[in-house]
Amino acid sequence: MSLRWTTAVAPTAVAGAGWKGRVPLRLEALMLAETICSAVSAAGLGIAAVTAYRKRFLTATRIAAYSLVPVGLVLTGVVEWVAGIAFKPSVWLGFGVLGLSWLLFMTTRAIERRSGTTRAERKAARAAGRNEAVAPAASAPSLGAGGAAGPAAAAKPKARSGKKQEAAAPGDDFSDIEAILKKHGI
């Protein structure tokens, strides 16, 4: 007996030569799912009662809450919805199409990895090509902040105190880090 009586679960006679008073397959599966949910809930409530008898009320309440979930799913129609999805060939065809798309995606990723270059490397190469800035009237590329060459650097006096040179020494260590970051396109 179904816990929920709607037009979707009400047994109706099916016309045709093969009808022998049985409920159609979809309704049988739905009624079986509702019966299983009801049995699981009844068993859970029994376990909760035994747990409460042993004076473990907090645990018994938690077990009762979990055991009422299947009945709630049946009464809200979730079980009917899942049973309707599980027995439709079009739904399984949809799962097959999703599986095929996943397989194609993973195949292209595997081929991409075997080619030796990753997306990050190709992106870094494109970024490096764009980052080589040349001034509009310059005949040579401009240098970044790390290298000061040319007439402006020659005109600067190199007289520094000892403390400033010591403070600049840790900055030289960052050149290695900058090189590594540039190598990886960061």
Q: How confident is the model at residue 32 (pLDDT cuts 50, 70, 90)?
A: confident
Q: Tell me if the pTM is above 0.85.
A: no
pLDDT at residue 180 is higher than 80 = yes
- Strand, coil or helix: what is 183? helix
pLDDT tens for residues 57-84?
999 999 999 999 999 988 888 888 887 7
Mean pLDDT of all residues in the chain? 74
More confident residue, 160 or 60: 60
pLDDT tens for residues 135-159?
555 555 556 555 445 555 445 555 5
The whole-number pLDDT of residue 119 equals 74
d(CA 132, CA 141): 7
The whole-number pLDDT of residue 171 equals 55
Query: Which own/partner contact pairs does 32-37 have at CB distance under 8 Å and 24+ positions apart?
Result: 33/74, 33/79, 33/82, 33/83, 34/2, 34/3, 34/4, 34/74, 34/79, 36/70, 37/70, 37/71, 37/73, 37/74, 37/79
d(CA 128, CA 182): 8
The whole-number pLDDT of residue 173 equals 73
Q: Residues 4-33, buried b or exposed e (16+ Cβ, 10 A)?
A: eeeeebeeeeeeeeeeeeeeeebbebbbeb
CA dist 134 → 131, 141, 153 (Å): 9, 5, 19
- H/E element holding 62? helix 57-76
The 10 Å Cβ neighbour count of residue 77 is: 14
Read off the pLDDT of each residue in 10-38 and give the average, rounded to a whole number.
Answer: 65
- Strand, coil or helix: what is 175? helix
The whole-number pLDDT of residue 167 equals 55
